[in-house]
A and B are shown apart, each in its own frame.
Chain A
Amino acid sequence: MDKIVIADKPILAIITSGGDAPGMNAAIRAVTLKAIQNGYQVFGFIAGFHGIIEKDYIDLTLKNVRVVAVIDSRSISPVLRVPGAEIFMGTDVVDTKGRRALKSIKLSNGKTIDCDSLAVSGGWNPNLHLTCHHRGIPKWNEEIASFIPDESTPPGMSVAGRAKGTMVLSDAIIEGHNVGSSVASGLGYNVKTLDPAETPSVPYNVSANWGVPSGKNRAWVDFQNDVTAKDIRLANQEGFKSVEHVKRYTTLGMATDQGKTANVLGIGIMAENMGQTMQETGTTIFRPPYSPVAIGAFAGRRRGMEFYPTRYTPSHNWSVEQDAVFVEVGMWYRSQWFPQPGETHWRQSVDREVLQTRASVGICDVTTLGKIDIKGADVSEFLNKVYVNAFAKVPVGKTRYGLMLREDGMVMDDGTTARLSENHFVMTTTTANAVSVYRHLQFCHQCLWPDLDVHMISVTEQFAQYAVAGPNSRKLLQKVVDPECDISNEAFPYMAAGEITICGGMPARLFRISFSGELAYEIAVPTRYGDSLMRVLMEAGEEFNVIPYGTEALGVMRIEKGHAAGPELNGQTSAYDLGMGGMVSGKKDFIGYKLGLREDLQRDDRMQLVGFKPVNKNDLVDKGHSLAGAHLLGLRDKPSTANDQGWISSSVYSPMLGCYIGLGFVKNGLNRKGEFVRAVDLVRGSDIEVEICSPHFYDPEGERLRV
């Protein structure tokens, strides 16, 4: 203490506690201001006595700041006296000088004042946003030149004090007390009458000033979004008369203060410009963060487990026991791969899962795929209208792959639909589109074809479904499927479907479908048996060295096989672009048919789905990243937007081909197989030569599926 100075002024030290203490800053500020007013020099010691011992303090007295002038546009007698400052009443600041920093300001009385900062205040604005946010319409109050809340506040909301436009502090305190008391007594509490705190009754004296003539100079209105007075007038001139339209045209009041600092001024300019009152002009809807809101308040308690819900698959507990690595797929937690002892890199696990599945048999939990049971007399007609390919005559016991378009002819989703009985179908969708496809079907039924007898319900969660894939998949399943259900190749061929029993009479559904390109099945049981079925399949598969595989191996196998998935069904691709033009029926009408005929969608030079493989098989192997996201260029083209021929949408290392492979889109791709282009990834710094090839890298004839 003895080392801090001093002067002939009395000194005041304030010792603060550590940590957050609500109201502390306000208290320090009040004490400091009062002390300075009384001629004290004030120091603040930080973190209590620690600050005194360590001399950790700051001088709270305003230092090196000299107020040179107070300029007040009101023609009244001066309100604020600052020692050493000139006072100008009824005067405006009309111009500023200084390029990188302020040098001087020019006043309306012609005087120039040298200064390096200009602080501007336009008076108070009531905190309107909580009433406005609930659709209260603010009312203009001329006396305080502000909008105030309407009397009709939402039920349960009372407004008091400055938020209501009661600007004099002493009045606001009394009003707060009265409103608080009446709300409390309304809730059945006893109310005490207390004497209000004494404050000097300083009158609130404000008048509107919507700007000063600025000539050709820009007059800023919204400092956050750089909106000028001229922008607002221009918006009016362009025909934007509604305050909501002006807001959106100019971005006035769209910044983080939600218009708190700029909107009243902007509305004033509009009103003046359009010759109408403030009330007629009206406000936009002020909302939080109209006054500052801590970011944490937006998150609230939505942290950790409360951030959003998690969906667990039927094999989750089992997968945890296997030390699976999980991945979030939307809200789902899925097994990504299953590391085995000795595997130190994810690629080792994934490559093994692929090789083992293709060599023998692997199991993957595919419960997350959307499943919709559709029943009724008119289901085949309904499906025929929503899929591009024929569904009118799917026989009972068969599954068919279907492609669904949006009305604009772009592919929406794909999946298989099986006919389990005359009036009963079950549709599968991708995991990502499970909800949107269901919604689409409901729309089609309820709005487009309400006369059809069609009833659908999601059974995604009713059944635990596992893909059992690989040359030994049938042998494995034959061990658990009841002997009276014949699943031999003859009795249950590729694309067969049926309701069967397993493990001694337990109900199940079996589909002979394949995403991996192998002989494969998907088997579904009521979810209550899902965990148990995973364990049973693993036990029954021991003699075949069965392995579980995760979403990564699933992805590798589908890319090797050339199946389109999410990155290909990106909303910009037609059935033709995906190489599935041949599936599109010309004999019926279906959603997307008409708009799919648009000339532009038939052009040859559209981006079409093809495969890509590196000319040099070892390319990228040392870099350890795939082709995904690379752009395609001619062999000698510079990487520029103008030269861009397409992109790689999905890419993985293929353990079967021993190199990276990719699916992607390139102009006129279907006619360019055998051509060479470059896959350039400027982000990861790779530029390799690739061959355009069929997307079906693995078993293109599909012989493995049908054995």
Chain B
Amino acid sequence: MSDYILEKESALEGAEHEFNGVNVSEVIDKSLVMVAIPRGTLADVESAIKKSCGLSIPKMEQSTESSDSSITLWRLQNSQVLAYFSYEGNDAESHLKSKFNAPVYFTDQSDTWAMIRVNGPKSRDVLERICPINIDPEVFPVGSVSRTVMEHIGTIIFRDGDDSYVLLTMRSFGRSMLHAIEVSVRNVL
């Protein structure tokens, strides 16, 4: 037993703010792992993960879900997918590896990002002020995912529900992003 213990801390210390019609909260129960597909193995990988957990490789800027809905894959680059799944432990790579059963490279990205969920009937109004891409429900349906820049901050935006969006920004930018969202909330409400 070590004399010292490391305590974990999320990027935004579990920030949670409720406003009239919109909630802004840090996502703390998810992990994110980059899954790189070795050159020339896309078809093999696809059939392996289909078999092991019912996942298919999504088209660009779209997502797919595993058959038990526990893993979502995002596609933002040709040879990589990002796996977004419920897991709070230390070893997201091994956790995913056990489900995937495919010859791919895993790189944990869970601590790289601050993840903020903006949801509620006013969520789109709030995001429209800071998000330069079109998130109109028709062009950005549930399950869409995209990389963009909000308030000078590189951001991934994922629509995880009718009125719910998850924004990912590099962890060090987390406070600035939260501030930007809150400013937008104040401007809109």
By a beta-carbon cutoff of 8 Å, the part of chain A in contact with chain B is 305-306, 308-313, 331-332, 373, 375-377, 423-424, 451-453, 455, 457-463, 479-480, 482, 502-504, 506-507, 525-533, 536, 539-540
Q: Are A311 and B172 in contact (CB under 8 A)?
A: yes
Interface segment out of the listed B50-58, B61-69, B105-113, B138-146: B105-113
CB < 8 Å neighbour of A539 from B4, B7, B170: B4
User: Chain B nearest CB: distance from A378 CB in Å?
Assistant: 8
Contact (A310, B111) CB under 8 Å given A375-B36, A507-B90, A531-B9? no
**CB <8 Å contact, A312 and B172:** yes
Chain B hits for A461, CB < 8 A: 111-113, 170-172
Cβ contacts B116-151/A at 8 Å (1 or 0 each)? 000000000000000000000000000000000001
Q: How far is the CB of A65 from chain B (nearest CB, A)?
A: 48
Total B residues in contact with A, Cβ cutoff 8 Å = 40
Tell me how far the C-beta of A443 lies from the nearest C-beta in chain B, rounded to whole angstroms. Answer: 14
Alpha-carbon distance A377/B112, docked complex (angstroms): 25
Q: Is the CB of B177 within 8 A of A536?
A: no
Residue of A nearest to B151 (CB): A309
Q: Bound state CA distance, A503 and B172, in angstroms?
A: 25
The docked-state distance in angstroms from the alpha carbon of A311 to that of B90 is 24
Q: Verify B6–A453 contact, CB threshold 8 A.
A: no
Nearest CB in chain B to that of A368: its residue: B172
A455 contacts across to B, CB distance below 8 A: 36, 38, 79-80, 105
A-B residue pairs in contact (CB < 8 Å), sample of 5? A311-B172, A452-B39, A506-B6, A527-B171, A528-B8
Q: How far is the CA of A438 from the CA of B111 in the complex (A)?
A: 19
Contact B38 A377 (CB under 8 A): yes
Q: Are B111 and A482 in contact (CB under 8 A)?
A: no
Please give the distance in Å from A62's CB to the nearest CB on chain B.
46
Chain B residues whose C-beta falls within 8 Å of the C-beta of A459 in the assembled complex: 107, 109, 112
Chain A: which residue is nearest B111 at the CB level? A527
List chain A residues, Cβ under 8 A from B110: 462, 526, 528
Is the pair A462, B111 in contact by a Cβ cutoff of 8 Å?
A: yes
In the assembled complex, the CB of A397 is this many whole angstroms from the nearest CB of chain B, namely 19
CB <8 Å contact, A309 and B111: no
When distances are taken between beta carbons in the complex, the residues of chain A under 8 Å from B179 are: 305
The docked-state distance in angstroms from the alpha carbon of A300 to that of B90 is 43
- In the bound complex, do residue B107 and residue A375 qualify as a contact, i.e. CB atoms below 8 Å apart? yes
* Across-interface contacts of B36 in A (CB, < 8 A): 375-376, 455, 457
Of B34, B107, B175, the contact of A310 (CB 8 Å cutoff): B175
Q: Which residues of A contact B79 (CB under 8 A)?
A: 455
A311: chain B residues at CB < 8 Å are 170, 172-173, 176
Partner of B152, one of A309, A451, A458, A528: A309
**A488 smallest CB distance to B (angstroms):** 18
B175 & A312 in contact (Cβ 8 Å cutoff): yes
Interface residues of B in 14-39 (CB under 8 A from A): 34, 36, 38-39
A457 contacts B4, CB within 8 Å? no
Q: Are B10 and A528 in contact (CB under 8 A)?
A: yes
Give B153's nearest chain A residue, CB to CB. A309
Cα separation A462 to B171 with both chains bound (whole Å): 8
Known A309-B176, A461-B112; 17 more pairs at CB < 8 Å? A306-B151, A309-B153, A310-B175, A332-B172, A375-B105, A423-B105, A453-B39, A455-B79, A457-B34, A461-B170, A502-B4, A503-B6, A526-B108, A526-B110, A527-B111, A529-B6, A529-B7
Interchain CA distance A332-B175 in the complex, whole Å: 12
Chain B residues with CB under 8 A of A375: 36, 105, 107
Whether a CB of chain A sits under 8 angstroms from the CB of B98 is: no
- Interface-centre pick from B2, B113, B176, B179 (highest chain A CB count, 10 A): B2
Instruction: Tell me the complex Cα distance, A43–B91, Å.
Output: 80
